[in-house]
Amino acid sequence: MPLIGNDRPNVLFIPIDDLNSWVGHLGEHPQALTPNIDRLAKRGVSFTKAYCNAPLCNPSRVSLFTGLLPSNTGVYGNGEMMRDKVPDVVTLMQYLRAEGGYSVQGGGKIFHGSSPYDPESWDYYNQPARKRFSGERDAYLPKEAWAPWGPLDVEESELFDVQNVDWAIAELDKAHEKPFFIACGFTKPHMPWYAPRKYFDLHPIEDIILPETLDNDRDDLPYWGKRFAIEVHDVSGARNFAIHGEDHDMVTKHKQWPRAVQSYLATISYVDAHVGRLLEALDQSEYGDNTIVVLWGDHGWHLGEKQHWRKHALWEVTTKTTLVIAGPEDVVKNQLCKKPVSLVDLYPTLLDLCGLPSRDGLDGKSLVPLLKSPEMEWERPVLMTFGYENHAIRTDRWRYIRYNDGGEELYDHDSDPNEWKNLASNAEYRPLMDMLKTSLPTTNVR
Ligand SMILES: [Ca+2]
């Protein structure tokens, strides 16, 4: 039924920078402690196979907010500006405002960077002052060691994300004449992993479990797979940040692997605590019953899997993230949805949930049917792109990667959830790969 004016639901949008799928209720790291995100998941649907469309900040977020795949915009890296590539694009916020009468406000990190990246997209943008804090390093570490993590002894109220949540809470406390879209974006758990000490104490270093890895995992990768594993590679700027050598060599040389995992888990727990404050404020506000909550990470993050760190590649760990949608009455509660979906689906999903007409030309598909019935048939391969003509396709069972030089990877998630065995050189799988290839984009904008 079409909704009008103030009958439309409000939207609380919670982007979380560099959050992979390590949240408690997904169980992908057994020590992830996120009681508040887990509580949100109980109020809606959490997706166990939610993927970014590009494995780094700018292209992932541009894709989400334009509803267009990187191959259709040409925004592949952090160096390309959205309005240079697609000057007239109507962002999700612009559409909600123009067609739905929404007030649209953002704060913290929504697009790439914490400044209002696209002023046209916002009625108001909140940007707390940024202060730099250094965490406590392990005492024996040499200065040149790559180890940007450690506990902080500071007042939490001084931290950027906490101040931004304070702003969003104040907004929820106000009377709003129009339906609102409030985006409260967290800059953590992006590096550096400095978080208040109490969150480190939740994750004692001596108990930390490292991700499962295979020593010679990279041997069966084609050229670009190996390169993406080794380099910290921004495809638009071709910059290589690996100035100290490979991240994994540095981490193991300085015995920092458990500390790194602890620090990432601690930083996630810190974010979760403040997600909790935000959700509590929503519950206590007059909007608790009429607000859609969407919480998402912008891509995955490696902590040593494939001897790789960070993002910037096309594997499962690089591309899988957290996506929870909760709130509206007709969304089922406390369900995991195991169908592959992606962040480009959020634009049409929100139009659907907000009772707005769908828009032509969007690349995603509304997830509302899955929000009502998470186990329904959903045959829709997800496309991920890293740089020009490098793509991955994820179906329920398979991940197929094809690089621009023709290099290929194929993984069977039924038997190999860690993606250790690249099956692409096995002729038996040629027909399957040819079939998966038909889901690759036919247009690749430069
Ligand atoms: Ca391998």
CATH number at residue 213: 3.40.720.10
Q: Which of 112, 203, 308, 312 does the annotation list as catalytic?
A: 112
Q: How far is the CA of 209 from the centre of ligand 1 (A)?
A: 21
Q: How far is the CA of 220 from the centre of ligand 1 (A)?
A: 5
Q: How far is the CA of 214 from the centre of ligand 1 (A)?
A: 8
Mean pLDDT of 132-155: 88
Residue 183 token pair: 């985006």
* 441: preceding bond cis by omega (within 30 degrees): no
Q: Is residue 85 part of a domain?
A: yes
CA-CA distance, 361 to 363, in Å (whole number)?
Answer: 6
What percent of the chain lies above the pLDDT cut of 70? Answer: 95
CA-CA distance, 393 to 71, in Å (whole number)?
Answer: 13
Q: Is residue 396 part of a domain?
A: no
Residue 150 token pair: 């450690």
3-state secondary structure of 351: helix
Q: What is the pLDDT of residue 330?
A: 81
Q: How far is the CA of 238 from the centre of ligand 1 (A)?
A: 25
Of 22-31, 146-155, 196-205, 312-321, where does mean pLDDT reach its minimum? Answer: 146-155
Query: What is the rounded average pLDDT for all residues in the chain?
Result: 93
Q: What is the pLDDT of residue 234?
A: 52
Q: What is the DSSP letter of 154?
A: S
Q: How far is the CA of 251 from the centre of ligand 1 (A)?
A: 21
Nearest residue to 171 via CA among 122, 113, 103, 98: 103
Q: How far is the CA of 430 from the centre of ligand 1 (A)?
A: 18
Q: What is the pLDDT of residue 3?
A: 56
Q: How far is the CA of 305 from the centre of ligand 1 (A)?
A: 10
Q: Does the structure show a pLDDT above 50 at 2?
A: no
Q: Is residue 276 part of a domain?
A: yes
Q: What range does the domain containing 306 cover? A: 5-221+229-373
Long-range contacts of 139-144 (CB under 8 A, 24+ apart): 141/254, 141/256, 142/254, 144/244
The sign of the torsion formed by the CA atoms of 169, 95, 9, 378 equals: negative
H-assigned helices in 314-367: 316-319, 346-353
Q: How far is the CA of 87 from the centre of ligand 1 (A)?
A: 41
The three state secondary structure string of 198-235 is: HHHHCCCHHHCCCCCCCCCHHHHCCHHHHHHHHCCEEC
Please give the residue that has the higher pLDDT: either 244 or 222: 222
CA-CA distance, 27 to 429, in Å (whole number)?
Answer: 31
Q: How far is the CA of 250 from the centre of ligand 1 (A)?
A: 21
| 57 in active site | yes
Q: Is residue 404 part of a domain?
A: no
Nearest residue to 109 via CA among 233, 13, 10: 13
Q: What is the pLDDT of residue 232?
A: 59
The sign of the torsion formed by the CA atoms of 407, 413, 416, 418 equals: positive
389-439: pLDDT as tens digits: 999 999 999 999 999 999 999 999 999 999 999 999 999 999 999 999 999
* 192: preceding bond cis by omega (within 30 degrees): yes
Residue 244 token pair: 């100290």
Q: Which of 57, 184, 337, 354 does the annotation list as catalytic?
A: 57
87-134: pLDDT as tens digits: 999 999 999 999 999 999 999 999 986 566 899 999 999 999 988 888
Of 186-200, 231-245, 379-393, where does mean pLDDT reach its minimum? Answer: 231-245
Q: How far is the CA of 318 from the centre of ligand 1 (A)?
A: 15
| 112 in active site | yes
Mean pLDDT of 223-230: 90
Q: Is residue 130 part of a domain?
A: yes
Q: Is residue 436 part of a domain?
A: no
3-state secondary structure of 264: helix
Q: What is the DSSP letter of 17?
A: T
Strand bridging mode 391-394 / 382-385: antiparallel
Domains in the chain, number: 1
57-98: pLDDT as tens digits: 999 999 999 999 999 999 999 888 999 999 999 999 999 999
CA-CA distance, 344 to 367, in Å (whole number)?
Answer: 10
Please give the residue that has the higher pLDDT: either 382 or 131: 382
pTM of the model: 0.96
Q: What is the pLDDT of residue 132?
A: 85
CA 213 to chain centre: 22
Q: Is residue 443 part of a domain?
A: no
Confidence of residue 237 (pLDDT cuts 50, 70, 90): very low
Nearest residue to 211 via CA among 442, 369, 31: 31
Q: How far is the CA of 315 from the centre of ligand 1 (A)?
A: 11
Q: How far is the CA of 421 from the centre of ligand 1 (A)?
A: 5
E strands along 343-387, which residues? 382-385
Q: What is the pLDDT of residue 247?
A: 87
Q: Is residue 434 part of a domain?
A: no
CA-CA distance, 127 to 125, in Å (whole number)?
Answer: 6
184: Cα within 13 Å, side-chain hemisphere: 29
The residue type found at 432 is L
Q: How far is the CA of 216 from the centre of ligand 1 (A)?
A: 7
162-211: pLDDT as tens digits: 999 999 999 999 999 999 999 999 999 999 999 999 999 999 999 999 99
Q: What is the pLDDT of residue 371?
A: 98
Q: For residue 26, how many other CB atoms are within 10 A of its CB?
A: 22
Backbone phi, then psi, for 242, in 5-degree steps?
Answer: -80, 60
Mean pLDDT of 360-380: 97
Q: How far is the CA of 69 from the centre of ligand 1 (A)?
A: 28
The DSSP result for 114-138, as a single string, is SS-S-GGG-SEEE-PPP----PPPP
What percent of the chain lies above the pLDDT cut of 90? Answer: 86
Determine the Cα angle at 258 with ends 256 and 261, to 5°. 105
